[in-house]
């Protein structure tokens, strides 16, 4: 039933994206990746220092501890209906530069196509066919140090492919830019996503029979158009502290998201600018075991009495570093009611160094 609803949602959404900006355009690129980051409430743009920096802050690629790092993630959302996967390879080009190649996929598979469910006024389940609604992003990242001590810069080039079964799809292109600054033990960062305004060019290839079925059900016929994604900015600050000895550490981080695509239900909301804070913390033992927590997505929720309360999304996680292999797990939306809202995120990261 839920997947049938998703089918009509996938087609209905297309009516609102022609040659205009959308508040949640390309939102699959804002979910986040990696068990460490997701366990900290997606609050890592200042402290990220491995291959996953290609997503969070490409300038962080310069802190790679290995010549080559490979990372992968699997995340199931909405009780396994949506599958969110990520893979990346990062490598040092020189002492002053690094690069990475990544792929992100978010897909709902096995959606029933119920356009032809009715035949001669009768329901015929044999006519149901399934399709997938899948979003892809192929990302190339580059980072380089500057002449200013402690200041690194980075950027992403994104190619986006979105597919809705055989009905239609879109190609898109976008650019991100970032800065990371280290001052003694303090880490500061700035990430600008879609700085040139990312676009998706949609095209639909529905058959005449499909169009007749849509019209018979009272739906409009989708047509091609241009979907625009406005810039999104994130500021971050972090610092690592020792707790009595170097074996025990704590790293708190604060991030602030700024969106410009219309009013959102966030902590500070307006038609022009929206501010969404998030906080994360990581406790470490001997650079081997890590416990993480975070709090993000602050929203005002109205209860049955008409009163609004401030609610957010907590997350927890754990990580283990085994020489060159890191295993990270996170539970998103950890304490909210309902198993459907929980996200189980597992990611692996492997470091490889040249011999000699």
Region 197-211: mean pLDDT is 85
What percentage of the chain exceeds 90 in pLDDT? 57
Burial class (CB in 10 A: 0-12, 13-18, 19+), 338: exposed
Read off the CATH number of the domain in which 177 is found: 2.40.160.60
| Residue/partner pairs of 143-146 with CB below 8 Å, 24 or more apart | 143/53, 143/58, 143/59, 143/60, 143/61, 143/62, 143/97, 143/98, 143/99, 144/62, 144/96, 144/97, 145/62, 145/96, 145/97
| Residue 237 confidence (pLDDT) above 70 | yes
Q: Which of the four pLDDT bands, split at 50, 70 and 90, describes residue 174?
A: very high
Model confidence at 146: pLDDT above 50: yes
Residue 241, classed as helix, strand or coil, is strand
Is the pLDDT confidence value at 220 over 90? no
When pLDDT is averaged across residues 274-289 and rounded to a whole number, the result is 95
- Please report which confidence band the pLDDT of residue 334 belongs to, taking 50, 70 and 90 as the band edges: low
Read off the pLDDT of each residue in 107-127 and give the average, rounded to a whole number: 79
Average pLDDT, the chain: 86
pTM over 0.75: yes
pLDDT in tens, 25-64: 888 999 999 999 999 999 999 999 999 999 999 999 999 9
Residue 20 has pLDDT above 80, yes or no: no
Is residue 132's pLDDT more than 70? yes
pLDDT, average across residues 266-287: 92
- Is residue 269's pLDDT more than 70? yes
Of all residues in the chain, what percent carry a pLDDT higher than 70? 90
> Is the predicted pLDDT of residue 173 greater than 90, yes or no?
yes
Integer Cα distance of 37 and 62 in angstroms: 18
Q: H or E stretch including 56?
A: helix 53-56
Q: Domain count of the chain? A: 1
Residue 335 has pLDDT above 80, yes or no: no
Q: Domain limits at 48?
A: 2-352
Query: Which residue is associated with the tokens 């990302």?
Result: 139
pLDDT at 105: 96
């Amino acid at each position: 039933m839920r997947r049938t609803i998703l089918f009509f949602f996938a087609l209905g959404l297309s009516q609102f994206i022609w040659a205009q900006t959308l508040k949640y355009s390309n939102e699959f690129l804002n979910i986040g990746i990696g068990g460490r980051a997701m366990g900290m409430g997606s609050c890592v743009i200042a402290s990220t220092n491995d291959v996953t920096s290609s997503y969070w802050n490409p300038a962080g690629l310069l802190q790679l501890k290995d010549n080559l790092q490979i990372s992968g993630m699997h995340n199931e959302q909405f009780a396994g209906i949506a599958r969110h996967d990520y893979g990346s390879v990062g490598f040092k080009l020189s002492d002053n530069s690094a690069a990475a190649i990544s792929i992100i996929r978010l897909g709902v598979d096995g959606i029933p196509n119920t356009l032809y469910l009715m035949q001669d006024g009768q329901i015929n389940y044999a006519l149901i066919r399934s399709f997938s609604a899948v979003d892809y992003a192929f990302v190339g990242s580059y980072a380089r140090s500057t002449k200013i001590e402690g200041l690194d810069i980075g950027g992403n080039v994104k190619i986006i492919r979105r597919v809705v079964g055989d009905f239609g799809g879109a190609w898109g292109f976008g650019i991100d830019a970032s800065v990371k600054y280290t001052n003694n033990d303090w880490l500061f960062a700035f990430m600008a996503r879609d700085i040139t305004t990312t676009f998706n060019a949609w095209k639909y290839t529905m058959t005449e029979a499909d169009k007749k079925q849509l019209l018979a059900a009272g739906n409009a016929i989708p047509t091609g158009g241009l979907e625009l994604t406005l810039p999104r900015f994130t500021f971050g600050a972090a610092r690592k502290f020792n707790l009595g000895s170097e074996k025990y550490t704590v790293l708190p981080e604060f991030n602030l998201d700024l969106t410009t695509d219309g009013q959102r239900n966030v902590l500070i909301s307006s038609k022009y600018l929206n501010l969404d804070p998030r906080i994360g913390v990581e406790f470490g033992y001997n650079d081997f075991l890590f416990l993480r927590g975070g709090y993000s997505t602050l929203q005002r929720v109205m209860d049955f009495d008409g009163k609004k309360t401030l609610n957010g999304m907590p997350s927890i996680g754990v990580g283990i570093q085994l020489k060159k292999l890191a295993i990270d797990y996170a539970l998103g939306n950890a304490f909210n009611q309902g198993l459907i809202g929980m996200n189980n995120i597992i990611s692996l990261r492997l470091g490889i160094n040249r011999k000699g």
